[in-house]
Amino acid sequence: MQKKVLITDAVDPLLISGLEVAGYACDYRPKASLAEVRQILAPYAGLVINSKIIADAAFLAAGPNLEFIARLGSGLEIIDLEEAEKRGILVHRAPDGNCDAVAEHILGMLLMLAHRLRLGDWQVRNMAWDREAARGWELKGKKLGILGFGYTGRALWRRLAGFELECMVYDKYQRAYPGEVDLEELLAEVDILSLHLPATAETLGWMDGAFWQRLAKLRAGRPLVLLNSSRGKIIPIGALVGALESGIISAAALDVFEQEKTALYTAEERVLYGRLVEMPQVVLSPHVAGWTKESKERLAKLLLERILSKAARV
């Protein structure tokens, strides 16, 4: 009997065609909700997901025939890995599929901040030129810290080579990488801090208000530029807005946010996000750093290879 794969998010067609050539029957439902997926999951041997699917223990129990789950991207916080292992479900992911896209995106956002391109664009469109107000600063000679040296951290590091700045790197779980320093030195010394951390029990909410107060003392009040293209829940929105308003963070480029579903904003969050979007010193994008034509194809290719090899990549 032909095994079935449920695909719950948009994918490059090569993943579907590759699975079909390998003998799978693919059911492509990119508009299905989490509740709908749970209701129909039982007969499927494979599941291809992105971030809208939360594969917790209850969800996995609804898929007794699951043999694999393939994650379009890197974050595994949406999957109960322990429960998946108990059930013999292989978990595949492809952090190497969109790391180049994320690195290019966050570098572009950094250059927008440094050269005040958002303001310059506004001036030209509004026929209100003020060149002095739009004066920027150069990356050359600055210290940039990469916090987390996985696929994306390394991809950014490679792209920074031509900017003549000093890269400082910290990763708690890796060693022997270029620019290695301890965490406190990195936080104390850098002019620019780029986050490349997964969402884990260690990192969720880590950069709270107390963190930024400690950092201000550690840096003797010297502000930094913050880049976050990893996980928004690392920094509670109240702490982020507070650090920007106090000047601990002088500027920020943000592709991710603590709450990305605007319909779920609390009254307090609505106020805080309202303050954030009015700040001239921030550049924002809607969690699309990894979304390029090339990364979509690459993710499909890598996941296809990993599904067919039957080797878990967690």
Contact 272, 302 (CB under 8 A): no
Q: How far apart are CA 64 and CA 89, in angstroms?
A: 10
* CA nearest neighbour of 245 among 228, 223, 220: 223
Which of 71, 93, 196, 231 is flagged as catalytic?
A: 231
Residue 46 DSSP one-character state: E
Q: Hey, what domains does the chain have and what are their CATH numbers?
A: 4-97+293-309 (3.40.50.720), 99-284 (3.40.50.720)
pLDDT tens-digit readout, 160-214: 999 999 999 999 998 777 889 999 999 999 999 999 999 999 999 999 999 999 9
More confident residue, 168 or 75: 168
pLDDT tens-digit readout, 244-269: 999 999 999 999 999 999 999 999 99
3-state secondary structure of 240: helix
Contact 55, 69 (CB under 8 A): yes
Q: How far apart are CA 283 and CA 298, in angstroms?
A: 27
- Residue 71 pairs with which residues in a beta bridge? 49
3-state secondary structure of 236: coil
Contact 53, 34 (CB under 8 A): yes
* CA nearest neighbour of 45 among 92, 96, 5: 5
pLDDT at residue 314 is higher than 50? no
Contact 191, 225 (CB under 8 A): yes
Which of 260, 268, 270, 294 is flagged as catalytic?
A: 260
Q: Please give the average per-residue pLDDT across 115-130, as a whole number.
A: 97
Q: Is 231 a catalytic residue?
A: yes
More confident residue, 251 or 1: 251
So what's the pLDDT on residue 74?
Answer: 87
pTM of the predicted protein model: 0.93
Q: Is 260 a catalytic residue?
A: yes
Q: How far apart are CA 246 and CA 281, in angstroms?
A: 13
By the 10 Å C-beta count (0-12 exposed, 13-18 middle, 19+ buried), 263 is classed as: exposed
Which of 29, 87, 118, 287 is flagged as catalytic?
A: 287
Q: For all residues of the chain together, what is the average pLDDT?
A: 96
Per the structure block, which two tokens stand in for 76?
A: 């595994």
311 pLDDT band (50/70/90 cuts)?
Answer: low
In the chain, the percentage of residues whose pLDDT exceeds 70 is: 98
pLDDT tens-digit readout, 4-38: 999 999 999 999 999 999 999 999 999 999 999 99
Q: How far apart are CA 86 and CA 67, in angstroms?
A: 12
Alpha-carbon 96 to chain mean position:
13
Q: How far apart are CA 298 and CA 238, in angstroms?
A: 36
Q: Is 125 a catalytic residue?
A: no
Placement of tokens 């067919």 in the chain: 308
